[in-house]
Amino acid sequence: MPFNHARKMEAQPWINFDGEYEIRVDFYIRGSDEASSHSATLKVGVDDKTLTERKVGWDNSKTLTLKTKAHFKKGNGQTLWLATEEGGKPEEGEHELAVGVKSIRYRGPLDGSQKDYPWELRWLFSEGAPSDDEKARDPYRETILRRFASLAFRRPVDDGTVKRLVALARQVDMQPNKRFEDGIAQAIKAILVSPRFLMRAEVQPEPDNPGKVVPIDEYALASRLSYFIWSSCPDEELMKLASEGKLRVNLRKQVDRMLKEKKSFRFVQNFVGQWLQARDVPTIALDERRILNEKDLGKARRIFNGRLRESMKAESEKFFAHILQNNRPATELLTAKYTFLNEPLAEWYGIEGVKGNELRKVDLGGDSHRGGMLSQATFHIVTSNPTRTSPVKRGLFVLENFLATPAPPAVPDVPALEETAKGDKKNLPLRDLLALHSEQKVCASCHARMDPIGLALENYNPMGLWIDDYKGKPIDASGTLMTGETFKNANELSKVLATSRHGDFHRAITEKMMTYAVGRGIEYFDAPTIDKIVANAESRGATLKEILFGIVESAPFQKRRGDGGMYAAPQE
């Protein structure tokens, strides 16, 4: 609902009972990342009566709330409305604002004469309001708490625990001014502070024997699978299969089902956020004025704004999700001649014909500078310094995350590149500065691995913009890998990584996904498992989904060894 035009939303909600109701509007202000003079008045009313109003302006809160009360009659004969009236206009250079409405809710009757639960709670209070007969309340408490505890603990809860929870709920309910729901709430608090909720329990037959490696039970497998793909607890189907002992034999079918759910995008966001550091893109520090050569900081930040950063992050996420969901080869992450853009990001990349704020798949021309993750702004931002690109960072990032061949740590007391760029060397191209910087023999071997990769990406500035020259001199993006492959530019480098070095790339993404899935780093003893996953995936098209299948079917994902004395208290 834009500030600069009067708008009115109307609805005729169905009311079950006569009485006084609370009306709650949750909203936010959108349109600008910086303070603005633009204002409006937000009003809530019923029929021809205004119940409350509030002057609104720029606010970066995620949720704002406007509350009021109204008397409703049973039926849908009354009109509930929300309206905006224009206020102060934005000043020159400021963005126009709008109200984004999240929800409009009504709750009542407030006198408690009727009882019903809101839709969010009906799954918990499945039998509706409790009986006035105290004898009938304990079985209802047990039904509610057994179901909730089984979900929270991710396995069937034992009878003793349920009895203690029911007793706790009953004790609270019997206190003065307390209700049935207060008792249930207290029992749920006890469940949520239990180690069985806060930690994923994996029952072992010999927990103190580090030499004993056993398959985890199917409830633990359901949890590992659901937190891997959904970042959440198992659903009823996973729990049912686990209870029947049929989850292991239906793993691929369940993974396919889970990837079709919207919740699987959490895996994409979290994994891409961890692997490519995409989660840092909205907040990473860049000197907008210096990079854009713009004196006015406010103008520079309006050009390179938060919405554009979010679009860059979303581009990488949507791109990865498309390749995973459509069972495409993993190397398409490097060589795809398409990406996901909205109008602001397309304009930033210099790509025409994209309109609107929604990201959608856009095919790229054969001569485009874009295509694959090495050409996306996400990669360029997280591998740059605040004021300039960093070929060393970019090369190291590719070695670690795309080739599984990390360089050794830098030797101590090596001066920064800026120390080399002084005096008559001030305007030298980065390629020449790096050559001088790495003249020390102890540095040369590592730089020979990193620098050719990083220099191939020098046509992309720290914000992902394409540039042809650096300090007035044409950029030379050609190079040769330590393994002998040559390339002339970033596109050719991506093709080399996807062809000659495809095995290294498959190994790298398998290692990163395995680390994410099992929650620990890769160890030397994982090498045979990684080799097997890569070999099996390559025999079946080397798709991202095949790599994911291989991980959930692997021993590290499905088994565990005893902890031994790892967590034992130290002896006096």
Nearest to 460 by CA among 291, 307, 335: 291
Q: Is residue 278 part of a domain?
A: no
Nearest to 493 by CA among 476, 481, 483: 481
Q: Do residue 408 and residue 453 come from a single domain? A: yes
The predicted model gives 258-280 an average pLDDT of: 97
Q: Is residue 536 part of a domain?
A: yes
Measured between alpha carbons, how far is 202 from 185 in angstroms, rounded to an integer? 27
| CB distance 84 to 43 below 8 Å | yes
Q: Do residue 34 and residue 172 come from a single domain? A: no
Give the CATH number, domain containing residue 22: 2.60.120.260
Q: Do residue 366 and residue 492 come from a single domain? A: yes
Asked if the model's pLDDT at residue 268 lies above 60, the reply is: yes
User: How much is the pLDDT for 339?
Assistant: 97
Q: Report the amino acid identity of residue 35.
A: A
Q: Do residue 99 and residue 178 come from a single domain? A: no
Q: What proportion of the chain, given as a percentage, has pLDDT over 70?
A: 91
Asked if the model's pLDDT at residue 415 lies above 80, the reply is: no
Cβ density class 118-157: b for 16+ within 10 Å, e for less: eeeeeeebeeeebeeeeeebeebbbebbbebbebbbbbeb
Measured between alpha carbons, how far is 565 from 572 in angstroms, rounded to an integer? 15
Provide φ and ψ at 169, rounded to 5°. Answer: -65, -40
In the structure, what pLDDT confidence band is assigned to residue 430 with cuts at 50, 70 and 90? Answer: low
> Where among 150, 178, 198 does a domain terminate?
198
| CB distance 387 to 300 below 8 Å | no
User: How much is the pLDDT for 212?
Assistant: 80
In the structure, what pLDDT confidence band is assigned to residue 35 with cuts at 50, 70 and 90? Answer: confident
Question: What is the DSSP secondary-structure string of 507-519?
Answer: HHHHHHHHHHHHT
How do 80-86 and 40-46 pair as beta strands?
A: antiparallel
> How many residues in the chain?
572
Q: Is residue 237 part of a domain?
A: no
In the structure, what pLDDT confidence band is assigned to residue 411 with cuts at 50, 70 and 90? Answer: low
Q: Do residue 479 and residue 433 come from a single domain? A: yes
> Where among 496, 519, 549 does a domain terminate?
496
Q: Do residue 68 and residue 181 come from a single domain? A: no
Task: Give residue-wise pLDDT tens across range 366-398.
Answer: 789 999 999 999 999 999 999 999 998 999 999
| CB distance 173 to 180 below 8 Å | yes
Asked if the model's pLDDT at residue 458 lies above 80, the reply is: yes
The predicted model gives 298-318 an average pLDDT of: 94
| CB distance 260 to 231 below 8 Å | no
Measured between alpha carbons, how far is 104 from 136 in angstroms, rounded to an integer? 36
pTM, 2 dp:
0.80
Range of the domain at 192: 119-198
Structure tokens given for 336: 């795809």
Q: Report the amino acid identity of residue 311.
A: S
Count of structural domains within the chain:
4
Q: Is residue 255 part of a domain?
A: no
Task: Give residue-wise pLDDT tens across range 139-168.
Answer: 999 999 999 999 999 999 999 999 999 999
| CB distance 141 to 170 below 8 Å | yes
Q: Do residue 359 and residue 345 come from a single domain? A: yes
Measured between alpha carbons, how far is 374 from 378 in angstroms, rounded to an integer? 9
User: How much is the pLDDT for 473?
Assistant: 84
Q: Is residue 258 part of a domain?
A: no
Q: Do residue 334 and residue 378 come from a single domain? A: yes
Q: Is residue 351 part of a domain?
A: yes
In the structure, what pLDDT confidence band is assigned to residue 564 with cuts at 50, 70 and 90? Answer: low
> Where among 107, 129, 151 does a domain terminate?
107
Q: Is residue 567 part of a domain?
A: no
Q: Is residue 233 part of a domain?
A: no
Q: Do residue 457 and residue 524 come from a single domain? A: no
Query: Mapped to the 3 state alphabet, what secondary structure does 209-231 carry?
Result: CCCCEEECCHHHHHHHHHHHHCC
Measured between alpha carbons, how far is 440 from 39 in angstroms, rounded to an integer? 61
In the structure, what pLDDT confidence band is assigned to residue 201 with cuts at 50, 70 and 90? Answer: confident
Measured between alpha carbons, how far is 352 from 345 in angstroms, rounded to an integer? 10
Q: Do residue 315 and residue 388 come from a single domain? A: yes
Measured between alpha carbons, how far is 377 from 462 in angstroms, rounded to an integer? 8
Give every strand in the sheet of 98-107, ordered side by side: 64-72, 19-30, 98-107
Q: Do residue 317 and residue 430 come from a single domain? A: yes
DSSP assignment letter at 329? B
Q: Do residue 313 and residue 422 come from a single domain? A: yes
In the structure, what pLDDT confidence band is assigned to residue 422 with cuts at 50, 70 and 90? Answer: low
Measured between alpha carbons, how far is 225 from 518 in angstroms, rounded to an integer? 10
| CB distance 101 to 27 below 8 Å | yes
Measured between alpha carbons, how far is 67 from 54 in angstroms, rounded to an integer? 10
